[in-house]
Chain A
Amino acid sequence: MRINFTAVFGAAIGVALGLAGAASAATLDDVKAKGFVQCGANPSLIGFATADEKGEWSGLDIDFCRALAAAIFNDPTKVKFTPLNAKERFTALQSGEIDVLSRNTTWTMSRDTSLGLKFAGVMYYDGQGFLVRKALGVSSALELSNARVCTQTGTTTELNLADYFRSNNMPYEVVAYEKNEEVLQAYEAGRCDVYTTDASGLYAERLKLAAPDDHMILPEIISKEPLGPVVRQGDDQWFNVVKWTYYALVNAEELGITQANVEQMKTSENPEIKRFVGAEGEFGSAIGLSNDWAANIVAKVGNYGEIFDRNVGPSTPLGIARGLNNLWTKGGLQYGMPIR
């Protein structure tokens, strides 16, 4: 915390409250110097980023930031979270207020190219889905002909919906509301048969229904919403750290390295595992970290599958199946680039 003379008379005391060094080219050096990662997070999204009664953060996006802290400091607590709403998230990243944005942000071309941002990976493959009552007796979205569909007005959700039903030649009726709460209420009250929004959102909203178990999410996903961590353009070293933190999480699951067995794995003879835990090669130092960076991530936070199960998986209230987020070997899209 530093303050200079002119600022004292100009902006007075408050400047100092948050006058943080930041946005220079070498984010990794800055992060190491200040001793923590500043991570932009969603203020409140079930399963992805929520703070409990004691103010402890948890969630899939949160755990990614903890993994990043573990990779750099071998300490998952060396991370500070800045809650950001959708409008200010990119400004916060561009202005250097945060080091990484892990806030269910969809990877799109315009964001990747013209906003001066770089997406480091896809922590969660989301997409628009459909929530229906089990009593309706449908098992596929293709059986939803003539359905009344609840959705939010003025969102891409509404457009995706129109595309999907038109291309499948199904007549339908839209029941649109301004706010999410209204949509859910309308669905609960039976004013529509189907509720559509992003699948992760459907799982979260389902918890707010009186009898969540009477409702199900149909398998069809009709849009692409790849959500992942974002960094500023122009700092390739930092980009690599964030990107390979993500790949380390996925690789760990592929190799069967878990929080529980990572210590034994350090003596494994498997060359891939040896490279992963840093027993062979100098992969950590190549990105400015210690050589056991990947092992530290798994030891402190777990692998991708563990993070998924802990925050959104079947054993949590959300109960989201792995689906597209399964490993590529199990029919999903999560694919860890090889460490070699």
Chain B
Amino acid sequence: MSNPSVYVRAAMAPAQPAPRSTVGVAGWLRTNLFSSLWNTVLTLLAIALIVSIVVPTVRFTLVDAVWSGEGREACLAANGACWAYVKAYLPQFIYGRYPIDERWRVDLVYAMLALGLVLLMVPRIPAKGATLAFMLLVFPVVAFVLLTGGGLELDGGLIPDDVMAPSAFRFWIEYGAVCAVLLALAAALAAWQGASVARTLRNLAAALAVLAVVLLAVSVDVGLEHVETANWGGMLVTLVVAVTGMTASMPLGVLLALGRRSNMPVVRLASVVFIEVWRGVPLITVLFMSSVMLPLFLPSGVTIDKLFRALVGVALFNSAYMAEVIRGGLQAIPRGQYEAARALGLGYWQMMRMIVLPQALRLVIPGIVGSFISLFKDTTLVLIIGLFDFLGQIQASANSATWASPVTGISGYIFAAFVYWIFCFGMSQYAGFVERRLDTGYKR
């Protein structure tokens, strides 16, 4: 039975194409760039701005640039950047004044670092724990020996010289004695505290043995030429300072953050004082103190390596910042997590290691990466204490009589900016990847 006055559509009407003004390039332009008079004006202004920046930049860095040539005549002829100068000095930017015949050692360290980072950073590659242990324990020692040449002379100093002449033998005797004292103290302490004496002794003995192996490794003469840190420079110094700062500031930062939230008043106070003092002082001041004041305090005849002073300063400075970043993460963990961990019978360190820190650190990845990036860029400050990091080496070379020209300095700075950007951008991209993988970002 059908009612002719009622029309019931039996099939869907075919979809009409979207209005032409909203599809394709024209539509996209219209909706996104020229949707109103005001937006049109802004778009045109932005285009003008981009053109006025990009065109001269491209002209200067690519079109008018000089790519090859010898000496300042080549640079003088250039209307654009003088890449010939960067090319000539590139090895120095990478190695500083490291002896040319010994640069394979630096290459080897670079390669190990790169390989280690790849193994650690690509999630699919297994055996993360072993790699991490290798990078944190073996790699620093190997890198130290390779870069400096190793062969430290350990000759002790506790036993007076007239009783026993300085020698490696004396050092190891003293080392054994100190170890024995430390072990005895630890055993007494453990017994007093009611902890397991055997376990305490085992842990401490293992740590002391590792230290002994490290000392042995750096003191064995492996036949490499000694290269003083005064000859290090360029990317080498930048990476040494940055990588050391990053790896040292992370565990120190965790400890300080935990200390600041601790219930033990002495630990808390010490952490607070440490953090506030180091955060309250500019890094430049720290470096200045280390390079200008510290030598005057030391007994005459004792000089501490300048690079080492800078490393310590940078590491302590950044661990204070890192502590505050990590404390932010700790505070974001709900109380219930702590209580649940306690209810499961976990001790303090177990709770932190297995429940709290994994969640807290994951939360503060953006903060940590921000710290790392600013640390990487802060390495340029070592220039003021006469260390030649990447930027310092570039600045120094631009002043050479054979290359000085109106564009030499600018070319060097552009190159420096580009390299720093690559590093920092790489770091933030990787952090983004980790965040997505751990899925902690706040999705809209």
Using a CB–CB distance below 8 Å, which chain A residues touch chain B? Answer: 1-9, 11, 13-24, 43-47, 50-55, 80-85, 87-88, 91-92, 94-97, 181, 188, 204, 207-210, 316-318
Contacts and interface: CB of A to CB of B under 8 A. Distances in A.
A84 B396 CA distance: 12
Interface in B133-187: 144, 148, 151-158, 166, 171, 174-175, 178
Contacts of A54: 92, 100
Nearest to B170: A5
Contact of B396 (A19, A44, A95, A209): A44
Contact of B386 (A7, A9, A85): A85
A211 to B, nearest CB: 9
A53 B88 contact: yes
Contacts of B76: 210
B386 A43 contact: yes
19 contacts: A3-B153, A3-B155, A5-B175, A5-B178, A13-B152, A18-B303, A18-B307, A23-B300, A44-B395, A45-B399, A51-B396, A53-B91, A55-B97, A80-B228, A82-B230, A84-B386, A91-B292, A208-B405, A316-B401
Minimum-distance CB pairs A-B, first 5: A14-B308, A4-B157, A18-B305, A55-B97, A17-B305
A176 to B, nearest CB: 21
B268 interface: no
B300 A52 contact: no
Given A5-B157, A15-B308, A20 B303 contact: yes
Contact of B301 (A22, A83, A207): A22
A301 to B, nearest CB: 19
Contacts of A4: 155-157
Given A14-B305, A95-B300, A97-B295, A208 B408 contact: yes
Nearest to A2: B153
Contact of B399 (A19, A50, A53, A88): A50
B154 A8 contact: yes
Contacts of B295: 91-92, 94-95, 97
B249 interface: no
B89 interface: yes
- Which residue among B155, B166, B406 has the maximum number of chain A CB atoms within 10 Å of its CB? B406
Given A55-B97, A208-B406, A318-B401, A13 B144 contact: yes
Contacts of A15: 304-305, 308
B402 interface: yes
Given A55-B231, A208-B404, A46 B399 contact: yes
Contacts of A87: 288, 292, 384
Contacts of B155: 2-4
A19 B304 contact: yes
A97 to B, nearest CB: 5
Contacts of A318: 401
Interface in B385-416: 385-386, 388, 392, 395-397, 399-402, 404-406, 408-409
A208 B407 CA distance: 8
Contacts of B399: 44-46, 50, 204
A52 B291 contact: no
Contacts of B305: 14-19
**Of listed B153, B301, B311, residue having the most chain A CB within 10 A:** B301
Contact of A94 (B296, B400, B404): B296
Nearest to A23: B300
Nearest to B312: A14
Contacts of A47: 401
Contacts of A16: 152-153, 305
Contacts of B302: 19
A108 B152 CA distance: 41
Contacts of A53: 88-89, 91-92, 397
Interface in B350-404: 384-386, 388, 392, 395-397, 399-402, 404
A254 B158 CA distance: 57
B226 interface: yes
A11 B386 contact: no
Contacts of A88: 291-292, 385-386
